């Protein structure tokens, strides 16, 4: 019989073992030799064209029709950025053009951060017009989130003073405008209600349809937002509107037109054939120009089937997505009221445009995370960061709202929200809980009968 030491030479001669150890102890494998076949590989000898040297980020896809856009330019971008930064920082006449050098420094820091985001952040689900564009969008989202975290630790008075650094015209109290002063249903009152915000409503719902890609989801969200305005008009006067302004002008006209056009656009992209050719393979000036413009269209298109009644997970996802969308819609109204900004202020418009751009890849990542968990093993970066941003906005509003809205919630509003929450809880209980309980009881009774026999 072979000795124990031959099977496990690491044991000392005096180690207490029995016969079972001789069978279970495996022969140790030799230590791996570093390098390639024992020869260390230096960084300047490495062949970076080999597949084993390529690191593929999460969900990264390349547009093979414009492969020259995907060549690494990290060192070139670093050199170019440092040259521009050095020129702006050391050239006196450039600094003298800006009255506030601190503002120039802040802009330079933001630009440097976005340059790093464009080069080093992980790719998302979109590759058109280029993944670098969506990396910049993610970088803007992160900057906004950091700014909100900073404002979360400031009081409202300090925040209003800080806003004057961005726009000196801010910091002045603004009267709240009510839209429910004359609710007579006449041609003159309807004409007076038609303003630039009707176009903004339509464009906004066109964007929401492009984000959600579900007709009925948009209708539910449209009605829910009007009900939210009814619930909060005791705090914000501009939520007070005439009944026909709520349900005819907003829901049936502006929101419906925007949703209809958005869903028609989604249907067009859904059935469109996607056969991409490179710019070199395209002949003719008109064809090349058309190919360049098509770079700003989707590379492919995924129709969203949220399946609210299909499973409990899908139901919870839709309810949470509805709540987040409502919060994202209501937050700007509270922020502009607390910080004394006009509805058409550039900061408000930029915030709405930025949330739209961030929501496009975020909802796409959420849909894949829920419906394809084998490929998306973790929640995407866009949806994670946008969710953190919306929640941080709510925390900022909650902190600054102390003493700003002294009027309590009306009893009718409390009863309405209570009934709505109860219905949201009862639906999954009836749809998913009761059938599952019946199935469990049926299996239990079947097993009991089998044991009795």
* pLDDT higher than threshold 70 for residue 75: yes
CB 205 within 8 A of CB 259: yes
Q: How far is CA 173 from CA 181, 232, 299, 330, in A?
A: 22, 20, 47, 20
- The pLDDT confidence band at residue 311, using thresholds 50, 70 and 90, is confident
Residue 340 within any structural domain of the chain: yes
pLDDT at res. 323: 93
- Distance CA(272)–CA(270), nearest Å, equals 6
pTM here? 0.76
Structural domain count of the chain: 1
Q: How far is CA 180 from CA 122, 226, 246, in A?
A: 48, 14, 10
Q: 337: which residues sit within 8 A by CB, 6+ positions away? A: 176, 236
pLDDT at res. 232: 92
* pLDDT higher than threshold 50 for residue 53: no
Among 239, 221, 197, 152, smallest CA distance to 359 is for 221
Q: Give the rounded percent of residues in the chain with a pLDDT score beyond 90.
A: 30
Q: 247: which residues sit within 8 A by CB, 6+ positions away? A: 226
φ, ψ (nearest 5 deg) of residue 273: -75, 135
Please state the rounded mean pLDDT for residues 188-192.
81
Q: What does the mean pLDDT of the chain come to?
A: 79
pLDDT at res. 400: 94
Q: How far is CA 263 from CA 211, 303, 323, 404, 410, in A?
A: 10, 10, 21, 40, 37
98-116 per-position pLDDT tens digit? 556 777 788 888 989 998 8
- Distance CA(278)–CA(292), nearest Å, equals 10
Residue 298 within any structural domain of the chain: yes
* pLDDT higher than threshold 90 for residue 358: yes
- The pLDDT confidence band at residue 19, using thresholds 50, 70 and 90, is very low
217-251 per-position pLDDT tens digit? 899 999 999 999 999 998 988 888 888 888 888 89
365-400 per-position pLDDT tens digit? 998 888 877 777 778 899 999 999 999 999 999 999
Residue 63 within any structural domain of the chain: no
pLDDT at res. 7: 42
One-letter-per-residue 3-state SS of the chain? CCCHHHHCCCCCCCCCCCHHHHHHCCCCCCCCCCCECCECCCCCCCCCCCHHHCCCCCCCCCCHHHHHHHCCCHHHHHHHHHHHHHHHHHCHHHHHHCCCHHHHHHHHHHHHHHHHHHHHCCCCCCCCCCHHHHHHHHHHHHHHHHHHHHHHCCCHHHHHHHHHHHCCCCCCCCCCCCECCCCCCCHHHHHHHCCHHHHHHHHHHHHHHHHHCCHHHHHHHHHHHHHHHHHHCCCCHHHCECHHHHHHHHHHHHHHHHHHHHHHHHHHHHHCCCCCCCCCCCCCHHHHHHHHHHCCCCCCCCCCCCCCCCCHHHHHHHHHHHHHHHHHHHHHHHHHHHCCCCCCCHHHHHHHHHHHHHHHHHHHHHHHHHHCCCCCCCCCHHHHHHHHHHHHHHHHHHHHCCCCCCCCCCHHHHHHHHHHHHHHHHHHHHHHHHHHHHHHHHHHHHHHHHHHC
pLDDT at res. 380: 85
pLDDT at res. 20: 39
Q: 301: which residues sit within 8 A by CB, 6+ positions away? A: 266, 269, 270, 272, 274
Residue 371 within any structural domain of the chain: yes
Residue 248 within any structural domain of the chain: yes
> What is the torsion angle, in degrees rounded to the nearest 10, for the CA atoms of residue 251, residue 253, residue 259 and residue 261?
180
**Least confident stretch, 218-222, 269-273, 403-407, 415-419:** 269-273
* pLDDT higher than threshold 70 for residue 25: no
* pLDDT higher than threshold 80 for residue 141: yes
194-204 per-position pLDDT tens digit? 878 888 889 99
Please state the rounded mean pLDDT for residues 51-62.
44
* pLDDT higher than threshold 80 for residue 412: yes
pLDDT at res. 64: 52
pLDDT at res. 74: 73
* pLDDT higher than threshold 50 for residue 52: no
* pLDDT higher than threshold 50 for residue 18: no
Expressed as residue numbers, the domain containing 275 is: 141-305+313-417
Residue 55 within any structural domain of the chain: no
Residue 239 within any structural domain of the chain: yes
């Amino acid at each position: 019989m072979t000795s124990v030491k031959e099977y496990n030479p690491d044991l000392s001669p005096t180690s207490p073992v029995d016969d079972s150890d001789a069978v279970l102890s495996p022969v140790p494998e030799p230590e791996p030799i570093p390098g390639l076949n024992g020869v260390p590989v230096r960084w300047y000898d490495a062949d970076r064209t080999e597949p084993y040297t390529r690191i593929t980020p999460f969900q990264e896809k390349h547009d093979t029709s414009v492969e020259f856009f995907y060549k690494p330019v990290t060192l070139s971008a670093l050199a170019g950025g440092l040259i521009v930064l050095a020129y702006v920082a050391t050239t006196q006449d450039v600094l003298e053009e800006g009255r506030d050098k601190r503002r120039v420094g802040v802009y330079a820091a933001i630009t440097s951060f976005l340059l790093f985001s464009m080069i080093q952040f992980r790719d998302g689900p979109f590759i058109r017009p280029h993944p670098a564009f969506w990396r910049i969008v993610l970088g803007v989202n992160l900057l906004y989130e950091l700014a909100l975290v900073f404002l979360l630790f400031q009081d409202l008075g300090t925040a209003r003073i800080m806003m004057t650094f961005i726009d000196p015209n801010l910091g002045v109290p603004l009267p709240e405008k009510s839209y429910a002063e004359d609710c007579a249903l006449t041609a003159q009152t309807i004409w007076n209600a038609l303003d630039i915000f009707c176009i903004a409503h339509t464009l906004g719902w066109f964007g929401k349809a492009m984000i959600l890609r579900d007709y009925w989801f948009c209708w539910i969200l449209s009605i829910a937002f009007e009900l939210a305005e009814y619930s909060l008009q005791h705090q914000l006067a501009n939520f007070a509107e005439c009944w026909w302004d709520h349900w005819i002008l907003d829901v049936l006209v502006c929101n419906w037109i925007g949703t209809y056009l958005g869903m028609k656009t989604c249907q067009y992209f859904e059935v469109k054939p996607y056969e991409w050719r490179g710019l070199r393979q395209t002949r003719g000036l008109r064809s090349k120009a058309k190919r360049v413009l098509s770079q700003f269209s989707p590379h492919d298109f995924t129709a969203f089937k949220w399946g609210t009644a299909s499973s409990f997970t899908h139901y919870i996802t839709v309810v949470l997505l509805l709540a987040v969308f409502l919060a994202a819609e209501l937050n700007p109204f509270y922020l502009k009221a607390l910080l004394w900004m006009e509805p058409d202020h550039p900061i408000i418009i930029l915030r709405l445009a930025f949330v739209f751009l961030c929501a496009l890849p975020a909802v796409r990542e959420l849909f894949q995370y829920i419906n394809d968990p084998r490929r998306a093993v973790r929640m995407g970066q866009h949806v994670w960061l946008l969710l953190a941003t919306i929640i941080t906005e709510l925390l900022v509003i909650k902190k600054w709202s102390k003493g700003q809205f002294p009027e309590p919630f009306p009893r009718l509003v409390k009863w309405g929200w209570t009934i709505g929450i109860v219905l949201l809880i009862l639906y999954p209980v009836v749809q998913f809980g009761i059938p599952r309980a019946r199935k469990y009881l049926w299996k239990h009774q079947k097993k009991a009968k089998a044991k009795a026999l």
